[in-house]
């Protein structure tokens, strides 16, 4: 997160850190006791390794009472996701067991009605992604409030030039923006997850490249069917 602030500890108890060999790779969030939603692009460069999911954390390294690392039983990328574009950039992770819920570990509801969030709505995004252009990786969760920008503005030829589909949404990226390692985290508007951070052009903090999110509502049927089919 560029230009954000250290989150107040445990005010986002749904946040997940997707890790490989103890290293934070991507964000994610708890959508059910045994399911985390993230971004399919997070599995690139992992050469088939399975993530572990850290829940209940504020600091990635310090011991904290409700922090717990979960093994992943299954990683299910959306069938339409691919390395060449941002389409269908969603990843479902089934935890080996149901997460133990408490004040530091909670499920975040996601939007089920397929209607655009109004432009200028201020939403919140959080993550352990880089906090500087030099790539500083924070130990503590950072958060940022950003206004939604309309798809028309985001699709302008000087911005994302008509690559933003009706299954995506954008927020202003001037100075305050998502960056490397924030992919997979939720965009929360009025307490509901509306989007999932996708890297898009990978540029951070440049107002000409607004932040892009995969909207969740268009994928409700897929999410529900995967969770129902794998129900333990
Ligand atoms: N703002 C959109 C967004 C959301 C999520 C991730 C991303 N960026 C990235 N995702 N993956 C990456 N691998 C390498 N470099 C990257 N961006 C980068 C890193 C240092 C300085 C800088 O100006 C940009 C990214 C960008």
Cα 177 to ligand 1 centroid, rounded to whole Å: 10
Q: What is the pLDDT of residues 8-24, one digit of tens each?
A: 998 999 999 999 999 99
pTM of the predicted protein model: 0.98
What per-residue confidence (pLDDT) applies to 232? 57
pLDDT for res 230 = 86
Active site annotation includes 224:
no
Ligand 1 in reach of 200 Cβ (< 6 A): yes
Spot the catalytic one: 41, 78, 104, 142.
41
ipTM over 0.95: yes
Beta carbons of 183 and 27 less than 8 angstroms apart? yes
89 is catalytic: yes
Rounded to an integer, the average pLDDT of 45-51 is: 92
Beta carbon of 199 within 6 Å of any ligand 1 atom: yes
- Strands of 96-228, DSSP E: 122-127, 142-149, 168-171, 186-189, 192-198, 211-215
What confidence tens digit (pLDDT) does each residue in 116-129 have?
999 999 999 999 99
- 3-state SS class at 219: helix
């Amino acid at each position: 997160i560029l230009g954000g602030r250290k989150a107040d500890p445990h005010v986002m108890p749904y946040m997940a850190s997707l890790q490989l060999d103890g290293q934070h790779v991507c964000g994610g969030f708890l959508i059910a006791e045994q399911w985390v939603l993230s971004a399919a692009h997070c599995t690139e460069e992992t050469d088939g390794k399975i993530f572990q999911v850290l829940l209940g954390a504020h600091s990635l390294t310090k011991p904290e009472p409700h922090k717990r690392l979960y093994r992943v039983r299954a990683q299910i990328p959306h069938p339409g996701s691919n390395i060449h574009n941002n389409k269908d950039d969603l990843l479902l992770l089934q935890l080996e067991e149901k997460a133990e819920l408490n004040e530091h570990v909670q499920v975040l509801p996601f939007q089920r009605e397929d209607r655009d969030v109004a432009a200028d709505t201020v939403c919140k995004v959080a993550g352990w992604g880089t906090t500087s252009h030099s790539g500083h990786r924070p130990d503590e969760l950072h958060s940022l409030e950003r206004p939604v920008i309309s798809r028309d503005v985001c699709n302008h030829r000087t911005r994302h030039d008509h690559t933003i589909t009706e299954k995506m949404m954008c927020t202003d990226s001037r100075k305050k923006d998502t960056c490397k390692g924030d992919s997979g985290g939720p965009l929360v508007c009025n307490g509901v997850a509306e989007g999932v951070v996708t890297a898009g052009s990978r540029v951070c903090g440049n107002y000409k490249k607004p932040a892009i999110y995969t909207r969740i509502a268009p994928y409700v049927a897929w999410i529900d069917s995967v969770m129902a089919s794998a129900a333990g």
